[in-house]
Amino acid sequence: MGFTMAKKVAVVTGSAGGLGRGIAERLAKDGFAIVIHDINEELLNQTETEFKDNGIEVTSFVGDVSKREDQFALVQHAVDTFGRLDVFVNNAGIEAATPLLEIDENELQRLFSINAFGMLFGTQAAATQFIKQGGGGKIISASSIAGHESYAMLGTYSATKHVVRSFTQTASKELAKYKINVNAYAPGVAKTKMWDRLDAEMVKHDPTLKPGDAFAKYTADISLGRYEMPDDVANLVSFLASPDSDYITGQTILVDGGMVYR
Ligand SMILES: NC(=O)C1=CN([C@@H]2O[C@H](COP(=O)(O)OP(=O)(O)OC[C@H]3O[C@@H](n4cnc5c(N)ncnc54)[C@H](O)[C@@H]3O)[C@@H](O)[C@H]2O)C=CC1
Ligand SMILES: CC(=O)C(C)=O
């Protein structure tokens, strides 16, 4: 009589839509049982239904990455549902487009609490579970081209994405002894809801721009000649979640079609 190997388990934060959803779909194709997660409960439920209709082994969890207890509860939900955790993707993030002289405390607190604190809390929750399990694991986080090079109007956002790169390096050094790989993906410009909002904000701040101009300006110089799709990002995350990347840690890898060269 044969036996079935338990599936590996991946959590993707902020995966009700956008890049996170694309990553979750790809990891499901790679054979993972998937925990999707978001602060937007309605969209999350809709996505969960669509995943189930497509035969994906999935569970969902509503949470706010900026709340440390939510991140630990998310990992607990993964373990309670599927018995273990193998990959944790800190994908959730938010943006702001504001001239430097107008950045206020509210914007700083909002972006840092989600993009930076959230990434750290997710890393802590996942690493705690990996250490308990004793078999290593993979933590993969969303940085950005803005985590390698800061942009006009994206001052706070860029700073938070540099924080992701920094915590990725520190975590990789501290967690290597537990066989935990910690890496980040740095996308360029993808046409998700985030960029719809960024374009609208940038247009508001510059009377010479009309809707679509900011996005067009950012995408004009991409070497490969097109804006990014969720699959472009998911391909890299799939690799970082797989044994093929076992000898890579502490890296923030650009996947931008040729925008920022490091
Ligand atoms: N779209 C792009 O061009 C780029 C995106 N990124 C990064 O990729 C990640 C995903 O971006 P997109 O899919 O474009 O964004 P998006 O705005 O389309 O989707 C983000 C998802 O995260 C969820 N979310 C927001 N705050 C949350 C919170 N506190 N807790 C839980 N979930 C929360 C949202 O509800 C949404 O479903 C972000 O970290 C972003 O900074 C990086 C570089 C480029
Ligand atoms: C949203 C984002 O990270 C950029 C710079 O496109």
| ipTM of the complex model | 0.99
Sheet holding 137-142, edge to edge: 58-62, 33-38, 9-12, 87-90, 137-142, 180-187, 252-255
**Hunting for tokens 């050094």 — which residue is that?**
173
Q: What is the pLDDT of residue 6?
A: 83
65 near 141, Cβ under 8 Å?
no
> Sign of the CA dihedral 205, 261, 144, 119?
negative
Please determine, for residue 186, whether its predicted confidence score (pLDDT) is greater than 90.
yes
Please determine, for residue 223, whether its predicted confidence score (pLDDT) is greater than 80.
yes
Q: Is 35 helix (H, G, I), strand (E, B) or coil?
A: strand
Distance 192 CA to ligand 1 centre (A): 8
How many other C-beta atoms lie within 10 A of the C-beta of residue 3? Answer: 5
Secondary structure of the chain: what % helix, strand, coil (to 5)? 50, 15, 35
Atom number, ligand 2, closest to the C-alpha of residue 145:
5
Active-site residue set: 157, 161
| Chain mean pLDDT for the chain | 97
Atom number, ligand 2, closest to the C-alpha of residue 188:
6
> Residue 34: pLDDT band by 50, 70, 90 thresholds?
very high
Q: What is the pLDDT of residue 2?
A: 52
Q: Does residue 65's CB lie within 6 angstroms of at least one atom of ligand 1?
A: yes
Nearest to 9 by CA among 65, 80, 73, 63: 80
Q: Does residue 192's CB lie within 6 angstroms of at least one atom of ligand 1?
A: yes
Pocket perturbation via mutation, ligand 2, pick of 189, 199, 217 by most ligand atoms within 8 A of CB: 189
Distance 202 CA to ligand 1 centre (A): 18
The set of residues, in sequence order, having a beta carbon less than 8 Å from that of 47 and lying 6+ positions away, is 15, 16, 17, 21, 36, 38, 60
Least distant ligand from the CA of 115? 1
Please determine, for residue 195, whether its predicted confidence score (pLDDT) is greater than 60.
yes
Class at the top of the CATH hierarchy for domain 9-190+229-255 = alpha beta
Q: What is the pLDDT of residue 120?
A: 99
Beta strands in the chain (DSSP E): 9-12, 33-38, 58-62, 87-90, 137-142, 180-187, 252-255
Least distant ligand from the CA of 16? 1
Domains in the chain: boundaries: 9-190+229-255
Q: Does residue 123's CB lie within 6 angstroms of at least one atom of ligand 1?
A: no
pLDDT (average), residues 199-211? 94
Q: How many degrees, rounded to 5, is the angle at CA 239 between CA 120 and CA 180?
A: 40
Q: Pull the structure tokens for residue 48.
A: 């969960």
Q: What is the pLDDT of residue 4?
A: 61
Least distant ligand from the CA of 255? 1
Please determine, for residue 250, whether its predicted confidence score (pLDDT) is greater than 70.
yes
Q: What is the pLDDT of residue 3?
A: 58
How many other C-beta atoms lie within 10 A of the C-beta of residue 88? Answer: 31
> Residue 161: pLDDT band by 50, 70, 90 thresholds?
very high
Q: How many degrees, rounded to 5, is the angle at CA 64 between CA 135 and CA 23?
A: 55
pTM of this structure:
0.98
Q: What is the pLDDT of residues 108-154, one digit of tens each?
A: 999 999 999 999 999 999 999 999 999 999 999 999 999 999 999 99
Please give the backbone phi and psi of residue 77, each rounded to the nearest 5 degrees, phi first: -60, -40
27 near 231, Cβ under 8 Å?
no
Q: What is the pLDDT of residue 14?
A: 98
Which amino acid, 33? A
Please determine, for residue 1, whether its predicted confidence score (pLDDT) is greater than 60.
no
Give dist(CA 61, CA 51) in Å, integer.
14
Q: What is the pLDDT of residues 59-108, one digit of tens each?
A: 999 999 999 999 999 999 999 999 999 999 999 999 999 999 999 999 99
**Hunting for tokens 């809707």 — which residue is that?**
211
